[in-house]
Amino acid sequence: MSDRYPIALDDLLKLLVKHEGSDLHLRANEPPIFRVHGDLRRTNFPPFEPGQIKEIVYGIMGPERIARFERDLECDLAYAIKGLARFRVNVFKQQNAVGAVMRLIPIRVQSLDELGLPPVLKEVAMLPRGLVLVTGPTGSGKSTTLAAMINHINENKPVHIITIEDPIEFVHQDKVAAVNQREVDMDTHTFAEGLRHVMRQNPDVILVGEMRDNETMQLAITAAETGHLVFSTVHTTDAAQTIDRIVDVFEPERQEQIRLQLGITLQAVISMTLLPRIDRPGRVPAFEIMLATPAIRNMIRESKTHQIPGAIQTGADLGMQTLDGNLLELYRSGVISYEMALSKSSNPAEFAARAGADRPVEELMGAAPGEL
């Protein structure tokens, strides 16, 4: 066994929180690496020896998870430091050595207002039934947004909420609602297995941490179809791609039926990405929000998802917004840079044309007399 590493895991995680970091990366032959406001930063600690990382990570896993990790070479779990935070942990193998990434999950669930999220999300959270999807790449804030929406229901509606997560991230205490949280591999074997039995648990609201396969997708759609409000996540970048991705997971002979079911059950697709701010330290989310109007339901059923962006653009009065529209708003407000907005835009040429009509304030301030 290697000599112990000079700083304990809990102390590393306390430093991560102190420096407003979101992730801790542990890799053999590298020092600990923090992700702070979206950027990776190497610390000045000595590099880990492979045995040191294994000792640290195995120390938080327990015998059953260690056995599963040595069999599957992957493992997800949650780790908590009392009074500080919870962490979502992924343990993996790289170059035959153990590695891990630990994602910070604040102990307190922030409200939609505290996070500065679009007000329409409150209306979506209070829907009586249907399927609501929050989409985006890893680390884009999907879990935080979903936790805030579940929290809004918990504070305002006397319903039964069941979550199926891998692992449990934000912990919800009962407020107006009753909340049961189930963890894959601890409380149920798989997302699909948990969903298959959830109807016997008398739920009103169901959160499925991720729709990973067609069985989970089908069960989530069926749960929404039978009168439940179902939340889940997909790793897609916009509403049209999300719908196509779900349909494409199924066999060709079933795809028309899935489109029909989605056309009935889908209530909203909230696609998001996180961008570095320029007005102050930190990151800010940008959203595309699609609400399922009768016209959009028709587009889903008739396989005309390419028309959805246009429908979103004309649905602003209902609370819908395009990603490019939100990026332009953030740029004009001085929250994000033009270059960052352009890099995340879904239609860079059109975005450049719209943004080009604005002359940045700093340019105007520096203009000579007669140039304004």
pLDDT of residue 358: 58
* pTM for this entry: 0.87
- The Cα–Cα gap between 287 and 285 comes to 7
Nearest to 237 by CA among 364, 366, 102, 142: 142
Query: Kind and range of the H or E element at 25?
Result: strand 21-26
pLDDT in tens, 169-178: 999 999 999 9
The hierarchical CATH code for the domain 120-321 is: 3.40.50.300
Residue 250's CB: how many other CB atoms inside 10 A? 16
Nearest 10 degrees: Cα torsion 121, 133, 337, 278: 60
- State what percent of residues in the chain have pLDDT above 70: 95
Mean pLDDT of the 263-291 span: 96
Split at pLDDT 50, 70, 90, the class of 370 is very low
Using CA atoms of 219, 221, 226, 227 in order, give the dihedral in degrees to the nearest 10.
Answer: 130
- Residues 183-208 have a mean pLDDT of 94
Cα–Cα dist 174/7, whole Å: 37
pLDDT, tens digit, 9 for 90 and up, residues 97-145: 999 999 999 888 999 999 999 999 999 999 999 999 999 998 899 999 9
Domain boundaries, the chain: 9-106, 120-321
Angle between helices 239-249 and 214-225 in degrees, nearest 10: 110
What pLDDT sits at residue 106?
Answer: 87
Alpha carbons 198 and 219: distance in angstroms, whole number: 10
Which residue reads 């884009």 in tokens? 140
Specify the CATH number for 9-106; select among 3.30.450.90, 3.90.79.10, 3.20.20.60, 2.40.30.10: 3.30.450.90
